[in-house]
Structure 1
Amino acid sequence: MSPILRLFAILSLSLIPALAFTDAGSLKTGCPTLEATDSGARDSLMQYICFYNAPPGEPAHNASRPEQLPEDLAWTPAHGRDLVFSATKSVYWVHLHIRNSGAERSLWYLKLNYPLLHEITLWQTGNGTTESIVTGDQHAFSSRGIDYRYFLLPVTLDAGETRSITLRVHSSGALNVPLSLETPAEVIAGSNHLTLTHGLFYGALLVFAVFNLLLFFSSGTAYYFYNAFYMAALGLFLFAMGGFANQYFWPNNASFANTSIPLSLSLCALSMTLFGRSFLEVAKGTISETALKTLAWFCIGFLALTLILPYTKTILLNTVLALTVISSLFIIAAVRWKQGYQPAMWYLLAWLVMLVGGLIYALAAFGYLTDFLAREALMQFAVGGQVILLNYAMVQRWRLLNQKLLEVEHNARTELEFKVHERTAQLRNTMRELEKANRQLSTLSMNDALTGLHNRRHLDNIFPELCAEARRTGHTLTLALVDADHFKAINDTWGHSFGDTCLQFIAEMLTRHVKRPRDIAIRFGGEEFALLLPGTDPAGARIVCEALLADVANTPLISPDGTEVRITLSAGIASLRTGEDQNRLFERADEALYAAKNEGRNRALLSEVTEART
């Protein structure tokens, strides 16, 4: 073979991989192909996205399928920027190529983290087939295919397979297209985190609303009712904006799902106005009272218009209304504070926080700021701060009212006694609620959140008491310190999530083996546990520990990658001696534990045995 032919053959062979990894979609758009198995590439998803803005009148605006797009369409690379656009009538086409260079078939989810998009169509093409999903908040919630408040597209790729994904997005309001490509584990972890965050937020909001409602029923004070009304309306608005209302309240009523957002927003504005007028004690006939009355009637009018006008107009009008109400209340509170009304200071701070958070949230919702999820979290933080400040302002207002009652004692003693009785009843109800909350908080502070066992604080409280009791009665008190072997390797290999699963498994085993009513199992460190065994001698404690160690060692766990994992424990045991304090008892148990570690782990050693060896 001639040198020229040899060179041609080598060049031909070197082009085979490139030909294998090229697809028609990539050539049309010029977008790079994302390697799905590369977590770094997935984190930089927007570097692989191309999009096209199709205003009304263009062929791409009227196209309903990717094959109807012009072949010479000028796709725009995202270059890492989020796709966020203010109110527009354009149709946006988004394109992405994904390849699985792994050795096995795998699943990923393309997640669109914004629930308020009217029309979304997703196509994925590969292996000669095309699959499509037509969804959006103008369709029934079941059209998404997956019961999730955001939009999820499952992408399953065979080994070596490349797929093209195309999105057609249209919305009559702002258009946010925050995309991410995640593994099922990442989707679940993110969902769990958000579920906890939203659960705490909406749960706290509901508790405060119910608490104020109970205060209203017990005291008859109007601003408690208006505050409960405000928090309920605000919670409903954020619930709808977050996509939860569409998911849980009216999944089959797409029209009302959109209407509920401006509707709840106008209810928020009305409740804010009523609460501000009642709480700030605006005098009749003043400019402030006239302004608040006018705003209240505007809120009622906008509430009616919401049921008539289209969503695009009502959401804008009601947003302007809500921001106007917040600004007006801020100004009126400043005037009342200047007039010497002290609770207005905390009310003023509350609305300052709300004004900043609401303005940023509105800018994100209307497409003027990126990262809607971060703005949503900021809004929740602002609402939380406002609720705390408002309730503190009500406490200050209550204190002010109490002082006024004391000042008129000399002029109307009979009337004063009646009012003091009324306010005292309110205080007692509040104190009972606070005492109940403190008891619940105390219980939570003594338990480990992950495992449910008692924590180090409980150990510090109960250990001296048990030692004192043992010295007084002469009964035996045995302490066993238990530690998981090579636990760092588990975290390093399979991650902290699986490590937490292992800790929960160990806690379950401890609970199973520590059965007597007075025996106590405690988690006092990362993978460190303690057993307090009153009335148990060292031999009995060793039997308990050896049974525990055998049970744990013989029970396998399945790691995230399917590997069978067996955990072993080491234990050190010591009993309280005459004249010994709890610190020395703990040290001897710890020395026995380290001796068990040094002798090969997966064993329980008595302190007396280790001391005899030394």
Structure 2
Amino acid sequence: MLLYLRYFIPIVAMLLTTGLAIAAPPAQTEQCPTLDANNPEQRASLMDHVCFLSAPPGEPAHQANTPEALSADTHWKAANGHDLVFSHTDAVYWVRLNVRNSGDTGQLWYLKLNYPLLDEVTFWQTGNDGTAAIATGDQYPFMSRGIDYRYFLLPVTLGANETRTITIRIRSSGALNVPLSLETPEATIAQSNHLTLVHGLFYGALLVFAAFNLLLFFSSGTVYYFYNAFYMASLGLFLFAMGGFANQYFWPDSAGFANTSIPMLMSVSSLAMTLFGRSFLEIQPGSRSDRVLRGLALTSLGLFVMAFILPYNKSIVLSTTVALIIIASLFLIGLVRWRQGYLPAKWYVMAWSGMLAGALIYALAAFGYLADFLAREIFMQVAVGAQVILLNYAMVQRWRLLNQKLLDVEQNARTNLELKVHERTAQLRNTMRELERANRQLATLSLNDALTGLHNRRHLDNLLPELCAESRRSGQPLTIALLDADHFKAVNDDWGHDFGDQCLQHIADILRRHVKRPRDVAIRFGGEEFAILLPGTGADGARRLCEQILEDLASSRMVTTDGAYLSLTMSAGTATLIPGEDERELFRRADEALYRAKAAGRNRAEQSEPAPSWSTPHGE
């Protein structure tokens, strides 16, 4: 065991040293420097323009509820380019930022606070038109934020040459992370889309693996499959809550429950990982390891109850401490079982070593000892993803070990145990059939959209680079068309998401009706966003195909839930591959053409420029 620890401890130390943010001592300043919102470099160095104030209980600033209530001789401290990160404290923190629009026209920016777990956050904007305030946080209903987003977004609209002072008052019973950024609407949307894809893949994979293990449990009756499914589901819910998604989607009107849910779900995850580890490692009942894990499991149950009784700042510390102890204990017990010759423990230890490092760094970030919580969240997701893969591989190795033992028993005691061997073999074969069936289902689900039956974004990402390479080799044209339903949000708002799903299926049927060539591919890669890959088709042919689709869609009518008739329209943008271009640039040009179609009035198709020399019509 000492040999393994000798290699493991330096790795964890290196990760902590790399991720640790050492904040320079803040300097006092009388006035915060003004940030030019039109200057991208100044926006990138926003923390150089931020001042803050720490107000412990008993100070006048702690009792102040508005910027006007602060003393005129208040000494603000400069952030000096560092993220504002504070461990558990009873202090109230004030943050101030002066923003100026040096342009000749009014513009909109978003001030983004990239940390979801704050009890009370109040924004004030003071400008030419007076002062406007927004009070929000976990102690308020989720919609008090004004914008349906897991982080805190403050719209900042500045007129020409206008300067505004933004003041933020923050109070929380937990740690305080105040990562601020000032972004354009376009950058905000792009980052949101990227994170949505990352989180969707992560939580979707956890859900699929959990369902898969649950299927294995029902088919084989092996209890550690159930514990593994329980662990992945509970861990996913905990990270979902830590990321602010649960507060956004599960209990948006339950003010304050966002805090209670964190230690509650953490204790459930601790219980699940203890039960899974005890079952998978085949801990001998009554052994020292068994007694330790039983005690930790009972402690986790007790912390689950205490989450509803103790204050958040106490229950989260207890839950986190026990969770880290459990992870470390399972890692050490796995090492012991590995040294005892239990081969699946090798992969279990590898899975748990990454989890230990990820959980430690994530806990330090959540408690305010590391900056850049978003990066730590992604690091934790990578650690969990690697752990899930290794754990499932470990279960495969465990299955192989059991199979080998079964063959040995059959060889050595064929006569006396023949009936039992046949029963076990039949059980294993049933498990393999279920495994193969589940793998086929997973392969289908991974490349097809469940709602419309079209291919999904993953298939697009896999196929488009291949088609681009083929086009460059053969000299044949390749065109991509991006289509987006017009005003689709209004359809969902007016008639509900069930009717919206019917509309998406209707659009998919029209695409299938027109995309008939064997190599042409219709794809749904977003909510109401579709794509068509047209190998061997030039720009003119693609444009005519899009116009036919748009005309067919606009001429068809659907009956709404209230009996009215609705005609849907779509906008389309096409781009044809040009020499020297890769798939990302091709997709970007098609996307720009789509936006031009939207801006030009919708229900039309726009073609990206420049157009290549070939103009092979669709179908020729």
What is the alpha-carbon distance in structure 1 between the residues aligned to residue 172 and residue 547 of structure 2?
61
Deviation, structure 1 residue 189:
1.0
Match of 1:481 in 2: 476
Match of 1:520 in 2: 519
- Deviation per CA, 1:90-125: give whole Å up to 9, x if none: 111111111111111111111100001111111000
Question: Is the contact between residue 456 and residue 522 of structure 1 (CA under 8 Å) also seen in structure 2?
Answer: no
Deviation, structure 1 residue 520:
3.4
What is the alpha-carbon distance in structure 2 between the residues aligned to residue 251 and residue 566 of structure 1?
41
**Is 1:231 the counterpart of 2:271 in the alignment?**
no
Distance 1:235 1:456, change over 3 A: closer
What is the alpha-carbon distance in structure 2 between the residues aligned to residue 70 and residue 435 of structure 1?
67
Question: Is the contact between residue 224 and residue 276 of structure 2 (CA under 8 Å) also seen in structure 1?
Answer: yes
Distance 1:224 1:449, change over 3 A: closer
- Deviation per CA, 1:359-382: give whole Å up to 9, x if none: 000000000000000000000000
Deviation, structure 1 residue 285:
2.1
3-state SS in 1 of match to 2:286: coil
Question: Is the contact between residue 455 and residue 522 of structure 1 (CA under 8 Å) also seen in structure 2?
Answer: no
What is the alpha-carbon distance in structure 2 between the residues aligned to residue 512 and residue 283 of structure 1?
60
Amino acid at match of 1:233: S
- Deviation per CA, 1:265-295: give whole Å up to 9, x if none: 0001111111111111111221111111111
Distance 1:568 1:367, change over 3 A: closer
What is the alpha-carbon distance in structure 2 between the residues aligned to residue 55 and residue 150 of structure 1?
26
Alignment of 1:142-161 (within 5 A): 142-161=143-162
- For these two proteins, the number of residue pairs brought into alignment is 506
**Is 1:413 the counterpart of 2:418 in the alignment?**
yes
Match of 1:429 in 2: 434
Distance 1:559 1:34, change over 3 A: farther
Distance 1:447 1:453, change over 3 A: farther
Match of 1:217 in 2: 218
Deviation, structure 1 residue 513:
12
What is the alpha-carbon distance in structure 2 between the residues aligned to residue 480 and residue 306 of structure 1?
65
**Is 1:308 the counterpart of 2:303 in the alignment?**
no
Amino acid at match of 1:147: D
Match of 1:577 in 2: none
Question: Is the contact between residue 482 and residue 594 of structure 2 (CA under 8 Å) also seen in structure 1?
Answer: no
3-state SS in 1 of match to 2:482: helix
What is the alpha-carbon distance in structure 1 between the residues aligned to residue 542 and residue 272 of structure 2?
61
Alignment of 1:52-67 (within 5 A): 52-67=53-68
Match of 1:369 in 2: 370
Match of 2:392 in 1: 391
Distance 1:222 1:185, change over 3 A: same
Question: Is the contact between residue 109 and residue 183 of structure 2 (CA under 8 Å) also seen in structure 1?
Answer: yes
What is the alpha-carbon distance in structure 2 between the residues aligned to residue 40 and residue 561 of structure 1?
31
3-state SS in 2 of match to 1:481: coil
Match of 2:607 in 1: 567
3-state SS in 2 of match to 1:84: strand
Superposition CA RMSD, Å: 3.7
Distance 1:401 1:546, change over 3 A: closer
Distance 1:42 1:338, change over 3 A: same
Amino acid at match of 1:292: L
Amino acid at match of 1:567: Q
Match of 1:246 in 2: 247
Amino acid at match of 2:371: T
Match of 1:344 in 2: 345
What is the alpha-carbon distance in structure 1 between the residues aligned to residue 462 and residue 321 of structure 2?
51
Deviation, structure 1 residue 407:
1.2
Match of 1:21 in 2: none
Alignment of 1:124-139 (within 5 A): 124-139=125-140
Alignment of 1:163-178 (within 5 A): 163-178=164-179
3-state SS in 1 of match to 2:477: strand
- Higher relative contact order structure (alpha carbons within 8 Å, sequence separation ≥ 6): 2
**Is 1:504 the counterpart of 2:544 in the alignment?**
no
Distance 1:284 1:504, change over 3 A: same
Deviation, structure 1 residue 236:
0.9
What is the alpha-carbon distance in structure 1 between the residues aligned to residue 543 and residue 265 of structure 2?
61
Amino acid at match of 1:260: S
What is the alpha-carbon distance in structure 2 between the residues aligned to residue 516 and residue 210 of structure 1?
34
Question: Is the contact between residue 447 and residue 454 of structure 1 (CA under 8 Å) also seen in structure 2?
Answer: no
Deviation, structure 1 residue 521:
3.7
Distance 1:274 1:549, change over 3 A: closer
What is the alpha-carbon distance in structure 1 between the residues aligned to residue 459 and residue 382 of structure 2?
25
Match of 2:586 in 1: none
Match of 1:12 in 2: none
Match of 1:273 in 2: 274
What is the alpha-carbon distance in structure 1 between the residues aligned to residue 594 and residue 363 of structure 2?
48
3-state SS in 2 of match to 1:133: strand
Distance 1:544 1:43, change over 3 A: closer
Deviation, structure 1 residue 404:
1.1
**Is 1:85 the counterpart of 2:80 in the alignment?**
no
Deviation, structure 1 residue 442:
7.5
Deviation, structure 1 residue 145:
1.2
Deviation, structure 1 residue 504:
2.3
What is the alpha-carbon distance in structure 1 between the residues aligned to residue 224 and residue 459 of structure 2?
40
Question: Is the contact between residue 454 and residue 522 of structure 1 (CA under 8 Å) also seen in structure 2?
Answer: no
Distance 1:157 1:90, change over 3 A: same
Alignment of 1:95-134 (within 5 A): 95-134=96-135
Distance 1:516 1:339, change over 3 A: closer
Distance 1:604 1:77, change over 3 A: same
Question: Is the contact between residue 482 and residue 570 of structure 1 (CA under 8 Å) also seen in structure 2?
Answer: no
Distance 1:432 1:505, change over 3 A: closer
| Structure with bigger gyration radius | 1
Deviation, structure 1 residue 503:
5.2
Distance 1:145 1:280, change over 3 A: same
What is the alpha-carbon distance in structure 2 between the residues aligned to residue 542 and residue 325 of structure 1?
60
3-state SS in 2 of match to 1:79: coil
Amino acid at match of 1:520: R
3-state SS in 2 of match to 1:520: coil
Deviation, structure 1 residue 568:
6.2
What is the alpha-carbon distance in structure 2 between the residues aligned to residue 79 and residue 560 of structure 1?
45
Distance 1:299 1:209, change over 3 A: same
Match of 2:494 in 1: none
What is the alpha-carbon distance in structure 2 between the residues aligned to residue 173 and residue 383 of structure 1?
24
Amino acid at match of 2:477: V
- Deviation per CA, 1:20-49: give whole Å up to 9, x if none: xxxxxxx99411111111121111110110
TM-score (norm 2): 0.74
Deviation, structure 1 residue 435:
3.3
- Deviation per CA, 1:396-437: give whole Å up to 9, x if none: 111111111111113211111111111111011112222344
What is the alpha-carbon distance in structure 2 between the residues aligned to residue 109 and residue 545 of structure 1?
38
Deviation, structure 1 residue 187:
1.2
What is the alpha-carbon distance in structure 2 between the residues aligned to residue 456 and residue 135 of structure 1?
45
3-state SS in 1 of match to 2:325: helix
- Deviation per CA, 1:63-106: give whole Å up to 9, x if none: 11111111111111111100001111111111111111111111
Distance 1:240 1:529, change over 3 A: closer
What is the alpha-carbon distance in structure 2 between the residues aligned to residue 529 and residue 418 of structure 1?
51
**Identity of counterpart residues, as a percentage?**
54
Match of 1:579 in 2: none
Amino acid at match of 1:321: V
What is the alpha-carbon distance in structure 1 between the residues aligned to residue 610 and residue 349 of structure 2?
58
Match of 1:288 in 2: 289
Alignment of 1:450-489 (within 5 A): 455=464, 457=466, 481-482=476-477
What is the alpha-carbon distance in structure 1 between the residues aligned to residue 323 and residue 420 of structure 2?
41
Match of 1:609 in 2: none
TM-score (norm 1): 0.75
Q: Which runs of 5+ in 1 are unaligned?
A: 1-26, 465-478, 485-501, 534-540, 572-592, 597-602, 606-614
